[in-house]
Amino acid sequence: MDSYVLFGHPVAHSRSPWIHAQFAAQFGYEQSYESVDVVPEHFEETLWNFAEAGGRGANVTLPLKEQAAMLCDELTPAAARAGAANTLIRLPGQRWRGDNTDGAGLLVDFERLGIAVTERRLVIIGAGGATRGILGPLLELAPRQIVIVNRTPERALQLVLESGAIGVVQAWSLDDLASVGHADVLIHATSAYRADGLPPLPDELVDAETVAYDLGYGASAEAFLAQVRRAGARLAVDGLGMLVEQAAESFLRWRGVRPQTAAVRENLRRLLADG
Ligand code: NAP
């Protein structure tokens, strides 16, 4: 039986095992996909042991994505650009290729929702691993501007410098959110599970033209989405679609086939609603 895992800390909450079980069933594949809680100090050894035991592929989540990229023997352009890997593909020997499917997953979901990026002004709140993964793919769609706003502005600045698109991409401090101006597309990419940790969104940021997307999903996205709905956003959506699509992109890289996602997304939505 082919063996896959999700590495992260914590991972108990993750829906990835459920999603990948649905995907495997579509093709009649027998596979195992388990969550493995591992702290950064033990990640290298755990990954090596998994490869030795015949592991075929892995997903990687918080806080291990950047470390995963460093541990891989090769990186795809998406992972190299992000400096972070969320998908590990087994190579001959105990070797791994690192990829990053967060950006591809987000863009597939944007397409489903009709969210346009080209020539638009994007504001991303958060400058962590997720923003690293989505920045390059968003830039490829030629937005007018991407403003990255972060509690620690140095991390946003680092992303600007690494983006190779200084000027198009700008860094701001969360303390200056009131001056950021209007967002055509507003992306919430912090891990503050309640938007209580974020300052109130200024009036100028969101209006009836704004589309807002929270990379979090379910209960963790509720506070942010409630704020943008109150501010009159045209569309306010959580990241459940991205979650399923980035998983489908991982599956494609491991298996060479892309699963259907619509029913999986709808069933997962029902599952979350039922608690
Ligand atoms: P991360 O690397 O740990 O980065 C966390 C980010 O949140 C940083 O920008 C951090 O700011 C900020 N932050 C944390 N607490 C905050 C607070 N109280 N106030 C303001 N800012 C705060 O996490 P990540 O991997 O980027 O993930 C971010 C979110 O995206 C998570 O909710 C994750 O679940 C979600 N995500 C979803 C998908 C999907 O498929 N839907 C995929 C990837 C990630 P500092 O730099 O100042 O610490």
Pocket of ligand 1 (CB under 6 A): 62, 102, 105, 126-131, 150-152, 155, 174, 189-192, 197-198, 215-217, 220, 239, 242-243, 246
Structural domain span for residue 120:
103-238
Check whether residue 112 and residue 219 sit in a common domain.
yes
Alpha-carbon gap, residue 122 to 147, rounded angstroms: 6
Distance 194 CA to ligand 1 centre (A): 11
* pLDDT (mean) for 121-129: 96
65 is catalytic: yes
Whether residues 92 and 184 share a domain: the answer is no
Contact indicator for 97, 89 with CB cutoff of 8 Å = yes
Query: In total, how many domains does the chain have?
Result: 2
Q: How far apart are CA 169 and CA 88, in angstroms?
A: 29
Which residue of the set 15, 20, 65, 253 is catalytic?
65
The pTM of the full predicted model, rounded to 2 decimals, is 0.96
**What are the tokens at 22?**
């649905």
Q: Pairing state of beta strands 87-91 and 57-60?
A: antiparallel
How many CA atoms lie less than 13 Å away from 93 in the CB half-sphere? 5
> Do 93 and 126 reside in the same domain of the chain?
no
Question: Both 96 and 108 in a single domain?
Answer: no
Question: Do residues 61 and 131 share a domain?
Answer: no
Alpha-carbon torsion 28, 34, 35, 36, what sign? negative
Looking at the structure, tell me whether residues 148 and 161 fall in a common domain. yes
Whether 11 and 123 map to the same domain: the answer is: no
Q: Are residues 145 and 219 in the same domain?
A: yes
Same-domain check for residues 57 and 29: yes
Helix axes 153-163, 129-139, angle to 10 degrees: 30
Q: Is the pLDDT of residue 132 over 70?
A: yes
Which is nearest to 252 in space by CA: 140, 49, 107, 101?
101
C-beta of residue 224 within 8 angstroms of C-beta of residue 193: no
Give the nearest ligand 1 atom to 155 CA.
46
Do residue 225 and residue 269 come from a single domain? Answer: no
Condensed to tens digits (0 to 9), the pLDDT of residues 244-268 reads 999 999 999 999 999 999 999 999 9
Helix axes 102-113, 240-255, angle to 10 degrees: 130
- pLDDT tens for 34-55 read 999 999 999 999 999 999 999 9
81 and 111 fall within a common domain: no
Q: Which two tokens stand for residue 123?
A: 């504001």
Looking up residue 204, the CATH number of its domain turns out to be 3.40.50.720
Probe target for ligand 1 pocket from 131, 190, 222, 224, with the most ligand atoms within 8 Å of CB: 190
CATH at residue 9: 3.40.50.10860
**Domain shared by 151 and 220, yes or no:** yes
